């Protein structure tokens, strides 16, 4: 699983993540970018599954950049435990993906393969995503 090596505090206080939609020119390395249309909490297992399935689809000739890493925790108390005494043990790590942030970028792929990757993202993560092209800006 994806977990950070060092953290200053194990159990963090969660904040409200807000950001305006920005689908403009924020593509850094690739020609296609996939961006979410709403807020998603991606767990480390989901990120690994997404990486594996997309790398199988695009093949070795093209490149894939995933810009997210799970650095926030979800804590959970044990069942039948009494109230109080802290927030519980860490159950999983997640990344808060805001609307307009880049989930991943692709290079050396055609439009058909990029749409296939978009369909995989929509199905695996059960959320809506948008494909942004470097030349046309939106697809």
pLDDT along the chain (139 residues), means of 10: 79 69 66 89 92 90 88 88 86 88 88 91 90 70
Q: Are 2 and 48 in contact (CB under 8 A)?
A: yes
Q: How many CB atoms lie within 10 A of CB 93?
A: 21
**Residue 123's pLDDT is what?**
92
**Residue 43's pLDDT is what?**
92
Domain 32-76+87-133 in this protein, CATH class: alpha beta
**Residue 45's pLDDT is what?**
92
Distance CA 72, CA 4 (A): 9
Q: Are 23 and 103 in contact (CB under 8 A)?
A: no
**Residue 115's pLDDT is what?**
92
- With 0.85 as the threshold, say if the pTM is over it: no
Which token pair is 88?
Answer: 């519980």
Is the backbone of residue 3 left (phi > 0), alpha (psi -120 to 50) or beta?
beta
**Residue 85's pLDDT is what?**
83
């Amino acid at each position: 699983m994806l977990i950070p090596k060092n953290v200053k505090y194990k159990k963090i206080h969660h904040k409200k993540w807000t950001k305006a939609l920005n689908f403009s020119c924020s593509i850094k390395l690739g020609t296609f970018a996939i961006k979410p249309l709403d807020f998603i909490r991606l767990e480390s297992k989901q990120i690994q599954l997404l990486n594996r399935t997309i790398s199988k689809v695009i093949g070795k000739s093209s490149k894939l950049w995933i810009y997210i890493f799970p650095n926030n925790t979800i804590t959970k108390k044990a069942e039948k435990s009494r109230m109080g005494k802290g927030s519980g043990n860490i159950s999983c790590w997640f990344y808060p993906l805001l609307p307009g942030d880049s989930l991943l970028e692709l290079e050396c792929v055609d439009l058909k393969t990029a749409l296939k990757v978009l369909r995989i993202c929509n199905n695996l993560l059960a959320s809506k995503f948008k494909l942004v092209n470097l030349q046309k800006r939106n697809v």
